């Protein structure tokens, strides 16, 4: 049985991907330092799958600690999720972001080379397309100028991994550019569990719907879009998880050294539409006010999904209604998130 090392596998996207891999017959080993997730996720994964996954509490920047994972397991491929991801925080503490995200990627790559592991999937982001308004973004769209250190770490790691794969023909790298992952597992047992007041739209709406937060501020309703609010390509986290299984399968058969895929739905949803869809899912009004634009926001961002459909065989199954209803189930079952 093929074994996948999932770094950051205790986090939001990682945990959903662990389930998708398990359901597709892969053996999974998880490495996570719990800097942005709770160990309770492992118990929840066990409840969902009936399997207790091998879990290492290690920092992926710590080469000797991570080496133990490669020593003790016959790893065939790696999905590297481990990283810090809060845009605003990255502006405040840029060096922490550069150190953690870049060092962990380099350390994983070095150990892969050392242990002869040839397949790497990396969590990149649509943020690498920068401020361009030329939508939809295709994988050939030029990389842009990022507006924050978090975005730059993705941009830089993409380049580092391209160089790594070019220099090492035995290594194959798949860069996955996620659009806006939202929603939760159908069980309601795992989902997005941000610390403190959320920055992103869906976690914020969920908390307002659940009564923990009073009111959502919509950042700008004077954009040049159909209803004046920004459009994003929201993708159900379980679809995104399936995209990773497809990427692992693709790496097993491709001749290419480096491949890049967008993971989105190809459809833009406005903030107003997202609120309306969530109101339908939870059955009551979401209190909101209209405020100023948020610096750095682009008006419209959605993916071209053609390449992923054609080459990966990936097509998102879920729409905005399923994203909202799964989010709402997770919120109602875990109003205060997971316990430490």
Residues engaged in binding ligand NAD (CB under 6 A): 7-8, 10-14, 32-37, 59-61, 81-85, 100, 104, 123, 125, 178, 181
Query: Residue 294 binds which one of ligand UDP, ligand NAD, none, with CB within 5 to 8 A depending on kind?
Result: ligand UDP
Handedness of CA 84, 87, 92, 95 (dihedral sign): positive
Between 237 and 259, CB nearer to ligand NAD: 237
Cβ-proximal residue to ligand NAD, closest one: 11
Q: For helices 271-282 and 201-210, what crossing angle results, to 10°?
A: 40
Find the shortest distance in angstroms from Cβ 240 to ligand UDP: 14
Structure-block tokens of residue 216: 């959502």
Query: Residue 181 binds which one of ligand UDP, ligand NAD, none, with CB within 5 to 8 A depending on kind?
Result: ligand NAD
19 CB contacts (<8 Å, ≥6 apart)?
A: 45, 48, 49, 185, 241
d(C-alpha 7, C-alpha 82), whole Å: 5
Burial call 41-79: b when 16+ CB within 10 Å, e when fewer: bbebbeebeeeebebbebbbbeeebbbebbeebebbbbb
Between 82 and 275, CB nearer to ligand NAD: 82
Residues that bind ligand UDP (CB under 6 A): 180, 199-201, 204, 216-219, 230, 232, 271, 294, 297
Q: HSE-up of 220 (CA within 13 Å, CB side)?
A: 17
Find the shortest distance in angstroms from Cβ 37 to ligand UDP: 19
Instruction: Report how far apart, in Å, the C-alpha atoms of 159 and of each of 201, 224, 261 are.
Output: 29, 33, 15
Find the shortest distance in angstroms from Cβ 81 to ligand NAD: 4
Between 35 and 217, CB nearer to ligand NAD: 35
Query: Residue 334 binds which one of ligand UDP, ligand NAD, none, with CB within 5 to 8 A depending on kind?
Result: none
Find the shortest distance in angstroms from Cβ 75 to ligand UDP: 32
The DSSP code sequence of 11-35 is SHHHHHHHHHHHHTT-EEEEE---S
Query: Residue 216 binds which one of ligand UDP, ligand NAD, none, with CB within 5 to 8 A depending on kind?
Result: ligand UDP
Residues labelled as active-site residues: 150
């Amino acid at each position: 049985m093929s074994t996948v090392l999932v770094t950051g596998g205790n986090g939001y996207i990682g945990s959903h991907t662990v389930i998708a891999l398990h359901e597709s017959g892969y053996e999974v080993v998880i490495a996570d330092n719990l800097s942005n997730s709770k160990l309770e996720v492992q118990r929840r994964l066990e409840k969902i799958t009936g399997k207790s996954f091998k879990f290492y509490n290690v920092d992926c920047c710590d080469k000797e600690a991570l080496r133990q994972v490669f020593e003790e397991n016959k790893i065939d491929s790696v999905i590297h999720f481990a990283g810090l991801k809060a845009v605003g925080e990255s502006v405040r503490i840029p060096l922490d972001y550069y150190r953690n995200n870049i060092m962990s990627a380099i350390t994983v790559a070095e150990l892969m080379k050392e242990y002869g592991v040839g397949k790497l999937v990396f969590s990149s982001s649509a943020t690498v397309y920068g401020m361009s308004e030329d939508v939809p973004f295709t994988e050939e769209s030029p990389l842009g100028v990022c507006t924050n250190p978090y975005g730059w770490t993705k941009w830089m790691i993409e380049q580092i991994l391209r160089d790594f794969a070019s220099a090492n023909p035995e290594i194959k790298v798949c860069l996955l550019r996620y659009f806006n992952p939202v929603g939760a597992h159908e069980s309601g047992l795992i989902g997005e569990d941000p610390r403190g007041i959320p920055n992103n739209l869906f976690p914020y709406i969920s908390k307002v719907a659940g009564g923990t937060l009073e009111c959502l501020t919509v950042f700008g309703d004077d954009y040049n879009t159909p209803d004046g609010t920004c459009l994003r390509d929201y993708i159900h986290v379980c679809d995104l998880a399936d995209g990773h299984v497809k990427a692992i399968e693709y790496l097993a058969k491709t001749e290419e050294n480096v491949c890049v895929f967008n993971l989105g739905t190809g459809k833009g949803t406005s903030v107003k539409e997202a609120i309306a869809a969530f109101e339908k899912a939870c059955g009551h009004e979401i209190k909101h006010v209209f405020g100023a634009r948020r610096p750095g926001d682009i008006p419209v961002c959605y993916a071209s999904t053609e390449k992923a459909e054609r080459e990966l065989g990936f097509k998102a199954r879920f729409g905005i209604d399923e994203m909202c209803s799964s989010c709402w189930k997770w919120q109602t079952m875990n109003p205060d998130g997971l316990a430490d």
